[in-house]
Structure 1
Amino acid sequence: MVTLNDSLVSSATRKLPLRMRPDLSMRYHKYQGKPYWVIKEPIGLKYYRFQEEEFSILQMLDGTVSFQEIKDRFEKDFAPQKITLGDLQHFIGMLHRSGLLITGAEGQGRQLKNRRDETKRKELLGKLSNVLAIRFKGIDPEKLLNAMAPFTNWYFTKWAVMVVAFIGICALLLIGTNFTMFRSRLPAFHEFFGPQNWLWLGITMGLTKVLHEFGHGLSCKRFGGECHEMGVMFLVLTPCLYCNVSDSWLLPSKWHRAAIGAAGMYVELTLASIATFLWWFSDEASTINQISLSVMFICSVSTVLFNGNPLLRFDGYYIMSDLSEIPNLRQKSSKILQRYMAEYCLGLEQQDDPFLPQGNQLFFAMYTVAAVIYRWVVVFSILMFLNSVLEPYGLQVVGRVIACMGLFGLVIQPMWQLGKFLHVPGRMHQVKRKNILITLAILFVLVAAFCTLPLPYSVKCSAQVQPRDAKAVYAGEEGILTDILVEPGQKVDKGTPIAKLRNIDLELQLLEARSELASYREQLDHAKRSADVRDRALVPVAKVNIRSLETETIPRLEDQSNELTVTAPIAGTVIVPRWQKERPTMGEQLPSWSGSLMDKKNLGATLSPSDIICYIGDEANFEAELAVDQSDIDYVYPGQNVRIRLEPFTNQDIDGTIESEDAISRRPMEVTPEHLSFQAGGTIATETDPSTGVQRPLSATYQVFVPIQNPDRQLVRGMRGRAKIKAEPQSLGQRLYRYAMKTFRFDL
């Protein structure tokens, strides 16, 4: 019977119809003091790293040597090392599958096609598992970069880096020394991420990422590399460019490779620093101010959370890999963790792997754990952000589809890889019973703790504050504000004059009525003195008109004129209403007003009858109106403590307590509180009632009222913020279940 060894020996003397591709590019490097060869496959733009022994075998393949000849030459050149025919066959097969060898043997076309189809399937699977950053190959930008390089090389010199660093430090000092003012100038979440800013955010992200990728490409040219791939990438649904600078792996200097990896962040930090000064010194209402803030946010957040973080496979990861001189850091760290888990969880014996880092293996294993956890956090944060932005417009289904595709890469793909690992023939027979039982017991305890261990839990909701039992003082009539007769905080009695208005139309009507009265009186006097019968016949008509003007028209107009003096409906304290943003006027419209009508700057503004001048009540006693979603209302009870943080006071919390059952509405609100709807800048998704024009919540929402104190007189009616109601503890499993039910609730 012919054995495997016999077949290997019989074929060992046959010439191998395989030879190294002549178009491969090779560079000699040293990693951690050891010599390596980096090979570039120019068609697929793939890069490989080989030790001296492996590279020598690749060079021996010229189409005329046999397995035995390669084995003999290897053992002669690298004595006392030995290599078996099986290991040699396995290694040469790997070289062939990697596309580093060519052959004239028949049937290779079918194999190449199958290999291409498999590669395309893997690329498609990778896109589906990483839907938040999808790449599509594009053009070869080498000629474009060669044309641009002479004009940009100065930007990648040490002097330019020092200047950019100086500008960045100045920008940080500007923000740090004026941090309170900086925070006060930042817009609210709904304003910055509202639909009115989507276009600017999309354009800003696209352009900054284009410059980011050109930074990589031009820096690669600066240090002697090439760039043959630039395409389109959809980053969190936003189209932008990507630039493949894998050619930097051919550069011998790790500092040059790290500089190329950091070039994109270098460009973004330059943009963020300049944008900081433009935003700080420009008019808040200008377009340049809005664009500068978008540039600041996108460049700084993307650098800190994504590009600069080595836990994600972006720039920071490749910089860390280059400086530590450990190529494929993520794969090797994952391999180390897999070996640890296979050894301790399954009891599988592990052979030494010379290609893995031999020192600090625990650090690499923990790096993989941290990277996985951070990736989960980032993906869930992005999905929650997209859901919060899309929900007010009824586009939750888009967020849910993206969430399902994102979870595929986080859950399904690792489970599939675990199944493939265990499905290897004979693998399950090697698993030790003791190890698997201990592993299952630990997993059971962790799952049980996850599902049952209660942890502090709070119901989060929107809130606005308002005086308790306060009465609004309306303008009552349309007119021009001429005077404010009281000051905020002033004590007033019922009927005390609050403000004076002027209605020009009413004044003209009153003047016209008085003029008519004088005219009719003259007619009456003339008719009484006249001897003409026709003139005397006008006496009864004149008397009727005079009586109508004196008893009806003029008193009515005078009463309306008197009503233009607005008075207090009750006794109490004058409370300033919520500030109103400036409303633009068009054409010949009368001037509008902004801020508060108590401000002297608004004298002369035109008011409508429904405009609120102030409130009369007790300014020391306020209440917070909470809007609790239907999924949380069952967890709200009397006696629970509430912590409120209002938008104007981001570093100060207000505490309160739900006093009674009456403070909790058990019927959904029909009309959204005026300052909490998304259209008004709040966070509650609403729809406009076509018959009444009021804003109604899209999902059932309940009101909860919490009394709060205002001893410092800082609260103003209509201030909004977020509230946390301290509810009964819940386990993480309960929260995950409730979140899944809420997130994937499809309304048919």
Structure 2
Amino acid sequence: MSGPALPAAGPAAAPLTALREDLRFHPGAPTGDGAPTWLVYDPPAHRYFEIDATGLALLQAWRAGLTPAELAERAGRALGRTVAEAEVAAFRAFAEQNGLAAHPGGWAAQAAQLAAGRTGWASWLLHNYLFIRIPLVRPQAFLVRTLPHARRLASRRSLAAIGLAGLLGLMLASRQWDAFTSTFLHFLSVEGLGGYLAALAFVKVLHELGHAYAAVHRGCRVSTMGVAFMVLVPVLYTDTTDAWRLRDRRQRTLIDAAGILVELGVALLATLAWSFLPEGSLRSIAFFLATAGWAMSLAVNLNPLMRFDGYYLACDALGISNLQPRAFALARWRLREWLFDLGDPCPEAWSAGRRRAVLAYGFAVWLYRLVLFTGIAVMVYAMTFKLLGLLLFAVEIGWFVVAPIGREAAFWWRNRTRIDPAGRLRVTGGALALLLVLLVIPVYGRVEIPAIAEPGRSARLTAAAPGRIEAVEVGAGASVAAGQVLLRLASPRLDHEIAVARTKLALIEFRRDRRAADALDRSASLVLDREFASQRETLAGLERRRGELVIRAAFDGTIAELEPDLQPGRWVGRGAELGTLASNGPRQVRGLVGEDGLRRLRAGAAGTFVPDDLTAPSLPVTLASVSRAASATVEIPYLASHLGGPVSVREEKGVGPVPVEAQYTAILEPPSEGLRLSESPAVVRGVVTVAGTPESLAGRAVRRIVAVLVRESGF
């Protein structure tokens, strides 16, 4: 589907050429305001152009050899009003640029002009690699033949049955929600990934068939179905251009929504099937069909900012065909009037409410496209080898971001004589100057350092050997002294080994005592002495191990953490962590600072540690030191992203989590009467805001860009 654009007019006084004889005209659907429209159909290109009453009058009055003034006069008589020359010039440019009017030199000259305008395959690929459409089948005959079966599936009884099945499935899934959400883990296997891709292809085929059958049901022709590549990712498409000739916009809306409705129906049935299928690939595929139907339909297909189903639903719901180009034209006009007050007429006669809605949509799409195309450029760069990635990145940013801005700037320059220096230009220039000043003045002085506040000394309470808890002498938050007993554990096996060792020691001692009366023991006197010393050492070691089962405080402090289910009689394994002992007194604050903030820090700078826990108090700190070398790994695990921290890391085999960007360890000292243990948990994560050397926003941005370019410049 396509509609008229309004480019700049061509030569105003040249006589008209004839309209093409193969063009067809149909009544169109009324606009959202109720105004009638008409369609111009171009059969060879299979395109529809929607025109209003003025366009229809101009086409009806169009004759070869007429001048634009004569055409305006004839169309004005038919409309009962004066037709401006600008309207005629704009409509003539539209007709000629879209090939509706014959070329003055005949069909041969027109073919030569088209051939001259064609680009080579390399240039075409460079500008169209983000979206390449490949038609695969002409499904009209198949769709007509199988339409009765599709109608039965879409009957009221079938839809009611699918709805009831979906409600039952949702009810059953909600009763085993944990099992439902954990089904995704099956996709981590090769078998699960294959099922995932097969299910995705299946549901997308059904989605496109939904559009196709809905169009054929309304008497429209589906010319082609095929595959399109969006950023090298294959997606299916269905050509329902013929739906433009439907005069009832509700029928168009049903065609637009048919794919989403099919996906939701599949999701409902798959949710019910998941509740009854056994564990395995089939259940995982049902899970994907269920979740993909909801997520893809609601999050992607219904997005009106992209040219997916949601966009066409918005067009037909609002009664505004070609919503995006018309919104862009209105947004450009509004922007120019805000900046320069040119006094140009509004591109279209909208009502106040509709104008505000279309204007908001246009600006929203601009912002969305800026973020989207920038993200696509980064993704394309990451998906290819570096040289090609840089080329495609430059093409993407240049073609979709820089070029539109350049065209708008060129329009401003061409119309500079129309701008009143004493009018709106003063306000615009003043605002730009103020913005420039804000960008270059060094006002950005804060440095934010992800950090933790922890006790100056802490120790984990662990079981030295497997044992049974005999007694818990303290509780969490209790203050203890060095050497105080905290927990008592017992090990029956160790007690047995000690009893055996004592028995052996007593036996050896008995043999040593009777050496004078026993010739055999007397001859083995040296051996007995060695065995006695060895056995006594073994017993002492066992006694020490039993002593280690009595866990004592290594220093004065507070029990910061204690396992809640430590009860007498519970067994714990060797190395089991039972709690944490933390020293009293002010906290120690450590953080990680990136290269971006490192150069703006100075020793002795004052700052504030703000905990993530809003109930914990802030802590004034002073920067004591920063490491000279970047950390090879994350020295403060609490700050790593894989543990929920703010520092981005990547896993490297044999090394562990490695910072994505260079990080330097900063030590910050709190005051002598700083935050104490009783006021918060053992380790508190937060952010330290330190006063640093001021820097301008522009300088900061330039330095970041240069750093990225330097980092990515190696091949």
Q: Structure 1 length as normaliser, TM-score? A: 0.67
1:142 is aligned, of 122, 139, 142, to: 139
Match of 2:468 in 1: 482
TM alignment of 1:486-565, pairs within 5 A: 486=472, 488-489=475-476, 491=478, 492-493=480-481, 494-498=483-487, 500=489, 502=491, 535=520, 538-540=523-525, 542-565=527-550
Match of 1:674 in 2: 637
Match of 1:629 in 2: 594
- Between stretches 107-116 and 562-571, larger displacement belongs to 107-116
**Preserved contact between residue 471 and residue 570 of structure 1 (Cα < 8 Å):** no
Aligned partner of residue 711 in structure 2, secondary structure: coil
**Residue 320 (1) aligns with residue 314 (2):** yes
**Preserved contact between residue 592 and residue 666 of structure 2 (Cα < 8 Å):** yes
Shift of the alpha carbon at 1:412?
A: 0.8
CA distance in structure 2 between the aligned counterparts of 1:455 and 1:614, rounded to whole angstroms = 46
CA distance in structure 2 between the aligned counterparts of 1:218 and 1:19, rounded to whole angstroms = 35
Aligned partner of residue 559 in structure 1, secondary structure: helix
CA distance in structure 2 between the aligned counterparts of 1:616 and 1:229, rounded to whole angstroms = 69
Query: 2:578 is aligned with what amino acid?
Result: I
CA offsets, 1:408-440, max 9 Å, x none? 35631223322554687xx55555555585366
Q: Which segments of 5 or more consecutive residues in structure 2 lack a partner in the other structure?
A: 1-10
1:447 is aligned, of 432, 435, 440, to: 435
1:231 is aligned, of 227, 232, 241, to: 227
Cα distance change of structure 1 residues 173 and 34 upon mapping to structure 2, 3 Å threshold: same
Aligned partner of residue 525 in structure 2, secondary structure: helix
Match of 1:37 in 2: 38
CA distance in structure 2 between the aligned counterparts of 1:243 and 1:408, rounded to whole angstroms = 30
Shift of the alpha carbon at 1:489?
A: 0.8
**Preserved contact between residue 321 and residue 327 of structure 1 (Cα < 8 Å):** yes
TM alignment of 1:718-737, pairs within 5 A: 723=687, 725=689, 733=698, 736-737=701-702
Cα distance change of structure 1 residues 399 and 124 upon mapping to structure 2, 3 Å threshold: closer
- Between stretches 562-571 and 362-371, larger displacement belongs to 362-371
Match of 1:417 in 2: 407
**Preserved contact between residue 208 and residue 299 of structure 1 (Cα < 8 Å):** no
Query: 1:498 is aligned with what amino acid?
Result: L
TM alignment of 1:594-609, pairs within 5 A: 604=571, 606-608=573-575
- Between stretches 660-669 and 564-573, larger displacement belongs to 660-669
**Residue 408 (1) aligns with residue 373 (2):** no
Cα distance change of structure 1 residues 112 and 441 upon mapping to structure 2, 3 Å threshold: closer
- Between stretches 427-436 and 32-41, larger displacement belongs to 427-436
Shift of the alpha carbon at 1:335?
A: 1.9
TM alignment of 1:151-550, pairs within 5 A: 211=203, 214-215=206-207, 217-219=209-211, 221-223=213-215, 224=218, 225-227=220-222, 228-234=224-230, 240-263=235-258, 303=298, 308=302, 310-342=304-336, 345=339, 350=344, 357=350, 361=355, 364-376=358-370, 407-408=397-398, 411-418=401-408, 421=411, 434=422, 437-438=425-426, 441-448=429-436, 450-451=438-439, 459-464=447-452, 466-476=454-464, 479-483=465-469, 485-486=471-472, 488-489=475-476, 491=478, 492-493=480-481, 494-498=483-487, 500=489, 502=491, 535=520, 538-540=523-525, 542-550=527-535
Query: 1:35 is aligned with what amino acid?
Result: P
**Preserved contact between residue 252 and residue 316 of structure 2 (Cα < 8 Å):** yes
Match of 1:684 in 2: 647
**Preserved contact between residue 272 and residue 300 of structure 1 (Cα < 8 Å):** no
Cα distance change of structure 1 residues 240 and 330 upon mapping to structure 2, 3 Å threshold: closer
Aligned partner of residue 640 in structure 1, secondary structure: strand
CA offsets, 1:538-581, max 9 Å, x none? 5225413432333323323432343344332124332327xxxx
Q: Structure 2 length as normaliser, TM-score? A: 0.69
CA distance in structure 2 between the aligned counterparts of 1:726 and 1:163, rounded to whole angstroms = 63
Cα distance change of structure 1 residues 529 and 79 upon mapping to structure 2, 3 Å threshold: closer
**Preserved contact between residue 212 and residue 267 of structure 1 (Cα < 8 Å):** no
Query: 1:231 is aligned with what amino acid?
Result: V
Query: 2:398 is aligned with what amino acid?
Result: F
Shift of the alpha carbon at 1:727?
A: 5.4
Match of 1:589 in 2: none
Query: 1:472 is aligned with what amino acid?
Result: R
Aligned partner of residue 34 in structure 1, secondary structure: coil
CA distance in structure 1 between the aligned counterparts of 2:144 and 2:86, rounded to whole angstroms = 47
Query: 2:367 is aligned with what amino acid?
Result: I
CA offsets, 1:263-289, max 9 Å, x none? 56656777889999999999xxx9989
Cα distance change of structure 1 residues 563 and 724 upon mapping to structure 2, 3 Å threshold: closer
CA distance in structure 2 between the aligned counterparts of 1:327 and 1:214, rounded to whole angstroms = 27
- Between stretches 114-123 and 216-225, larger displacement belongs to 114-123
**Preserved contact between residue 264 and residue 297 of structure 2 (Cα < 8 Å):** no
**Preserved contact between residue 472 and residue 614 of structure 1 (Cα < 8 Å):** yes
Query: 2:581 is aligned with what amino acid?
Result: I
CA offsets, 1:448-494, max 9 Å, x none? 35415888986555444544432333445xx4243274364163442
Aligned partner of residue 33 in structure 1, secondary structure: coil
Query: 1:489 is aligned with what amino acid?
Result: A
Aligned partner of residue 570 in structure 1, secondary structure: coil
Cα distance change of structure 1 residues 287 and 220 upon mapping to structure 2, 3 Å threshold: closer
**Preserved contact between residue 207 and residue 263 of structure 2 (Cα < 8 Å):** no
Cα distance change of structure 1 residues 363 and 684 upon mapping to structure 2, 3 Å threshold: closer
Match of 1:656 in 2: 618
Query: 1:496 is aligned with what amino acid?
Result: V
Cα distance change of structure 1 residues 276 and 222 upon mapping to structure 2, 3 Å threshold: closer
- Between stretches 536-545 and 82-91, larger displacement belongs to 82-91
**Residue 700 (1) aligns with residue 663 (2):** yes
Query: 1:106 is aligned with what amino acid?
Result: A
CA distance in structure 1 between the aligned counterparts of 2:608 and 2:289, rounded to whole angstroms = 37
**Residue 46 (1) aligns with residue 47 (2):** yes
CA distance in structure 2 between the aligned counterparts of 1:452 and 1:147, rounded to whole angstroms = 69
Query: 1:725 is aligned with what amino acid?
Result: T
Aligned partner of residue 580 in structure 2, secondary structure: strand
Cα distance change of structure 1 residues 744 and 501 upon mapping to structure 2, 3 Å threshold: farther
Cα distance change of structure 1 residues 679 and 173 upon mapping to structure 2, 3 Å threshold: same
Match of 2:6 in 1: none
**Preserved contact between residue 196 and residue 285 of structure 2 (Cα < 8 Å):** no
Match of 1:125 in 2: 127
Q: Percent of aligned positions with the same letter in both sequences?
A: 17
Query: 2:468 is aligned with what amino acid?
Result: T
Shift of the alpha carbon at 1:496?
A: 1.0
Cα distance change of structure 1 residues 467 and 539 upon mapping to structure 2, 3 Å threshold: same
Cα distance change of structure 1 residues 249 and 657 upon mapping to structure 2, 3 Å threshold: farther
CA distance in structure 2 between the aligned counterparts of 1:172 and 1:495, rounded to whole angstroms = 57
CA offsets, 1:16-67, max 9 Å, x none? 594316xx79564322433323345566553321346756887999xxx854
**Preserved contact between residue 591 and residue 667 of structure 2 (Cα < 8 Å):** yes
Aligned partner of residue 662 in structure 1, secondary structure: strand
**Residue 111 (1) aligns with residue 113 (2):** yes
**Preserved contact between residue 447 and residue 690 of structure 2 (Cα < 8 Å):** yes
Aligned partner of residue 29 in structure 1, secondary structure: coil
**Preserved contact between residue 227 and residue 234 of structure 2 (Cα < 8 Å):** no
Shift of the alpha carbon at 1:218?
A: 0.6
**Preserved contact between residue 576 and residue 614 of structure 1 (Cα < 8 Å):** yes
Aligned partner of residue 554 in structure 1, secondary structure: helix
